[in-house]
Amino acid sequence: MLSIKNLHASVEEKNIIKGLNLEVKPGEVHAIMGPNGAGKSTLGYVLSGRDGYEVSEGEVTLNGKDLLDLEVEERAREGLFLAFQYPVEIPGVSNMEFMKESVNAMREQRGEDPLTAAEFLKKAKEACKQVQLPLDFLKRGVNEGFSGGEKKRNEIMQMILLEPKLCILDESDSGLDVDALQVVADGVNSQRDGERSFIVVTHYQRLLDYIKPDFVHILADGKIVKSGDASLALEVEKSGYAFLGKAYEEAEA
Ligand SMILES: Nc1ncnc2c1ncn2[C@@H]1O[C@H](COP(=O)(O)OP(=O)(O)OP(=O)(O)O)[C@@H](O)[C@H]1O
């Protein structure tokens, strides 16, 4: 699904991703943890093609295609979805219109007929219900005035509607109350179908109690310095990143 080899990337001429390798197979869930400022969000931005992020070295393929060669919208059409750590407000653009255009663009890419307004509304209502967002959120501007938790639920609603192949969730659990955490996790789990893959960036092991990862990686100073199974997240929860001292020195060497 996704193959990242020796990725180096910078923003504002500052090197942030420094030789990162990651392989994600169809249906897998990879959790990425790591200290603040390690480059976790940057990785999501680089993969999604955000302006201002320069790749100086390395290769990234998505389903065999050179991802770095594609424009940002082409990456989305190829099935890459990024749920932002800080979802962006688009005042004046209705959530519903925004999603209808996006969903039909994805359907076109998959060779499917566009949804009519009524068909889309039905799906959008179901998705709203799934993430427990009141229906009037469809009429509001994208994320406009939404609370932090509502924005995160809206991101998951978008993911459900877009049916991407690879979902990158950047701290989708931050700022959520306990019930909202369960709603977001249920939304993600409902989309696990053995084919769709997930990269879940989180600081907290508790999210991984709900979204069971196949692999956990520790990203520090721009590269993955340790990988393991779900027990690695428990280790981080218990002892923090003190162990990185040794692991990081080994990775540097
Ligand atoms: N536009 C920018 N100009 C300069 N430095 C930047 C810019 N964007 C990001 N950085 C720096 O890149 C580093 C990595 O940032 P990033 O947001 O990827 O970290 P993170 O691992 O997601 O951290 P957190 O866990 O705190 O969210 C940080 O030191 C950050 O200050």
Q: How high is the pLDDT of residue 247?
A: 58
Pocket test for ligand 1, best of 7, 8, 10, 11 (most atoms within 8 A of CB): 11
Residue nearest to atom 31 of ligand 1 (CA): 37
From the list 214, 149, 215, 217, the residue with the least C-alpha distance to 184 is: 149
Residue nearest to atom 13 of ligand 1 (CA): 37
pLDDT tops 80 at residue 246: no
Class of the CATH domain delimited by 2-92+165-252: alpha beta
CA-to-CA dists, residue 131 to 66, 70, 135, 151, 217, angstroms: 34, 31, 11, 11, 28
Q: What is the ipTM of this complex?
A: 0.97
Beta carbon of 13 within 6 Å of any ligand 1 atom? no
Q: How high is the pLDDT of residue 248?
A: 61
pLDDT tops 70 at residue 187: yes
3: Cβ contacts below 8 Å, ≥ 6 apart: 22, 23, 24, 59, 60, 61
Q: Which atom of ligand 1 is nearest to the CA of 39?
A: 18
- pLDDT bin (cut points 50, 70, 90) of residue 253 is low
For the segment 75-133, what is each residue's pLDDT rounded down to a tens digit?
Answer: 999 999 999 989 999 999 999 999 999 999 999 988 999 999 999 999 999 999 999 99
- pLDDT bin (cut points 50, 70, 90) of residue 242 is confident
Residue nearest to atom 30 of ligand 1 (CA): 37
Residue nearest to atom 26 of ligand 1 (CA): 36
Q: Which atom of ligand 1 is nearest to the CA of 219?
A: 21
Domain boundaries, the chain: 2-92+165-252
Burial of 134: CB neighbours in 10 Å, binned 0-12, 13-18, 19+: exposed
Quote the ligand 1 centre to 43 CA distance (angstroms): 10
